[in-house]
């Protein structure tokens, strides 16, 4: 299953462990899942013609790169073949490639759904790859299989599994919300044996990756989804505490800084009427007042040939078009009036759009006792939060940035425009005294952590950007929908 490239294989040799530990980005959002690369000096200005160290074509997939020493690991898929790739971090050359076959690629409800959505994880000895219902594949750094864990197929998860596996010490943690057996699973990293499984009955799909933190000398695993953030004991999987009143459908992953946890999110499931329809489309979509009010008004505006159905080509760009297969219930490749009316008439789910600052500690339901403050505006749909210099940064669809004082919970500035609309899927990364924010439309903004939104640079990559960047050795590694780019000051 593995294809070696002999000319370059000899170059990788044995990576000296000390060097590898110094140059690591081992899991989603980097060391500790913090999204910080504070000691790095990557360029603020970069693009196809500026500060390119190398670029390498990749198969399809939105997973992010991880790094150990001079090796970079990433996933993708070509048709029904899911790919595990190892690249030379310094040159971009593919050192080895592994593959597995899946029965079929599901027709996901969302255009961003992918069987290669999860970011791999490594501890410097093992690399863990995760492909939806196929399961987990663990290899050594040369691509030799160590163990696999297969999951029950055909779970009905129509959005794909976006959560990434997280390694902490000798344990591997995996969120399986939305599976037939929704749960948080803890594996022995060396053997693949299940150490514990925290069942999450009734929990729907979530894309929230596990987050490990220490509280009073004890380690806990934070897992969000279906209106709650739950803390589980790291060693046993027993529930320690939870907070409620959060979004039912969530993509954001939590972050802890000091004695405070930052978590929440925004979903169309918790708004109704005109607000819901407006949230599905960019501000410049041109929707009329009638289109916002009713499905009939929408058809009047967009059913150009008056055949009482709207094709994918006719449908205006936006989040509702992104979930076209979900709306097209009869699978005839058209949206009829009844199918569209679903979005106008469905009642909001339980839960609400909110973002919490939660004091660590406590037992049971700590919503009233430990939620220090919350914000209700400028909340992200997908981007996880970052904290820098006692400031919390949230990036919302449409290119809106909100900065919150972490002590008071008061906005320093709220929903300031970056200047590029559309979705923002990649989590921002803090690099020294700068923050890097990638827009799905292909622009990377560099802003300054300050009392106002100050844009230092705007970089056009020329490809769609969904993956969170990785940063080591003063180099920015950025995955587009066609290439993996390495940018470094020359």
Q: How far apart are CA 441 and CA 419, in angstroms?
A: 11
pLDDT at 155: 53
Q: How many CA atoms lie within 13 A of 98 on its CB side?
A: 20
Q: How many CA atoms lie within 13 A of 431 on its CB side?
A: 24
Strand ordering across the sheet containing 66-68: 3-4, 94-101, 81-88, 71-78, 66-68, 24-25
Longest Cα separation, the chain: 67
CA distances from 56 to 2, 85, 111, 143 (A): 19, 12, 24, 19
Cα-only R_g, the chain: 22
Taking a C-beta distance cutoff of 8 angstroms, is the pair 261, 358 a contact?
Answer: yes
Q: How far apart are CA 106 and CA 357, in angstroms?
A: 37
Taking a C-beta distance cutoff of 8 angstroms, is the pair 239, 197 a contact?
Answer: no
Burial of 217 (0-12, 13-18, 19+ CB in 10 A): exposed
Q: Which residues contact 303 (CB under 8 A, 6 or more apart)?
A: 309, 310, 314
Q: How far apart are CA 148 and CA 34, in angstroms?
A: 28
pLDDT at 39: 87
Give the pLDDT of the chain (490 residues) as one tens digit per residue.
Answer: 344 443 333 333 434 344 445 689 999 999 999 999 988 999 999 999 999 999 999 999 999 999 999 999 999 999 889 999 999 999 999 999 999 998 887 777 776 767 889 999 999 999 999 998 789 999 999 999 999 999 876 555 666 678 999 999 999 999 998 878 889 999 999 999 999 999 998 788 888 999 999 999 999 999 999 899 999 999 999 999 999 999 988 889 999 999 999 999 998 888 888 888 998 888 878 899 999 999 999 999 999 889 999 999 999 988 888 888 888 889 899 999 999 999 999 888 878 899 999 999 999 999 999 999 999 999 999 999 999 999 999 999 999 999 999 999 999 999 999 999 999 999 999 998 999 999 999 999 999 999 999 999 999 999 999 999 999 999 999 999 999 999 999 8
Going along the chain from its start, the domains and CATH numbers come out as: 272-345 (1.10.238)
Q: How far apart are CA 120 and CA 317, in angstroms?
A: 31
Q: How far apart are CA 167 and CA 437, in angstroms?
A: 25
Taking a C-beta distance cutoff of 8 angstroms, is the pair 340, 324 a contact?
Answer: no
pTM as predicted: 0.91
Q: How far apart are CA 212 and CA 426, in angstroms?
A: 21
């Amino acid at each position: 299953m593995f294809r070696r490239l002999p000319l370059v294989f000899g170059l990788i040799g044995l990576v000296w462990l000390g060097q590898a530990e110094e140059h690591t980005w081992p899991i989603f959002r980097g060391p500790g899942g913090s999204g910080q690369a504070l000691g790095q000096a990557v360029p603020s200005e970069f693009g196809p013609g500026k500060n390119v160290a190398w670029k390498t074509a990749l198969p399809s997939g939105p997973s992010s790169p991880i790094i150990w020493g001079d090796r970079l690991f990433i996933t993708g898929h070509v048709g029904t073949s899911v790919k595990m790739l190892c690249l030379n971090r310094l040159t971009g050359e593919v050192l080895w490639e592994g593959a597995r076959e899946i029965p079929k690629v599901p027709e996901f409800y969302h255009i961003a759904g992918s069987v290669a959505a999860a970011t791999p994880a490594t501890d410097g000895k093992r690399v863990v790859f995760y492909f939806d219902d196929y399961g987990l594949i663990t290899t050594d750094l040369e691509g030799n299989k160590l163990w696999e864990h297969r999951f029950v197929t055909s779970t009905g998860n129509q959005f794909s599994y976006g959560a990434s596996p997280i390694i902490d010490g000798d344990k591997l943690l995996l969120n399986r919300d939305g599976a037939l057996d929704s749960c948080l699973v803890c594996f022995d990293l060396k053997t693949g044996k299940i150490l514990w499984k925290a069942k999450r009955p009734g929990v729907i799909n979530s894309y929230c990756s596990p987050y490990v933190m220490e509280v009073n000398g004890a380690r806990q695993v934070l897992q969000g989804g279906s209106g709650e953030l739950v803390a589980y004991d790291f060693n046993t999987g027993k529930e320690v505490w939870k907070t409620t009143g959060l979004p039912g459908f969530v993509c954001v992953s939590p972050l802890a800084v000091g004695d405070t946890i930052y978590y929440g999110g925004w979903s169309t499931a918790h708004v109704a009427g005109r607000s819901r329809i407006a949230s599905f489309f960019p501000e410049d979509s041109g929707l009329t007042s009638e289109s916002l009010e009713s499905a009939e008004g929408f058809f009047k505006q967009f059913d150009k040939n008056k055949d009482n159905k709207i094709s994918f080509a006719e449908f205006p760009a936006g989040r509702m078009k992104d979930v076209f297969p979900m709306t097209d219930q009869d699978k005839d490749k058209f949206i009829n009036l009844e199918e569209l009316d679903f979005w106008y008439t469905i009642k909001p789910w339980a839960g609400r759009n909110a973002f919490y600052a939660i004091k660590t500690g406590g037992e049971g339901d700590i919503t009233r006792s430990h939620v220090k403050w919350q914000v209700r505006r400028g909340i992200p749909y997908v981007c996880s939060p970052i904290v820098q210099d006692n400031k919390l940064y949230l990036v919302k669809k449409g290119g809106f940035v909100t900065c919150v004082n972490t002590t008071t919970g008061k906005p320093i500035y709220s929903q300031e425009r970056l200047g590029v609309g559309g979705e923002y899927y990649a989590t921002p990364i803090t690099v020294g005294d700068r923050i890097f924010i990638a827009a799905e439309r292909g622009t990377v903004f560099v802003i300054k952590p300050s009392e106002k939104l100050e844009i230092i640079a705007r970089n056009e990559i020329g490809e769609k950007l969904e993956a969170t960047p990785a940063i080591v050795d003063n180099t920015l590694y950025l995955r587009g929908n066609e290439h993996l780019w390495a940018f470094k000051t020359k």
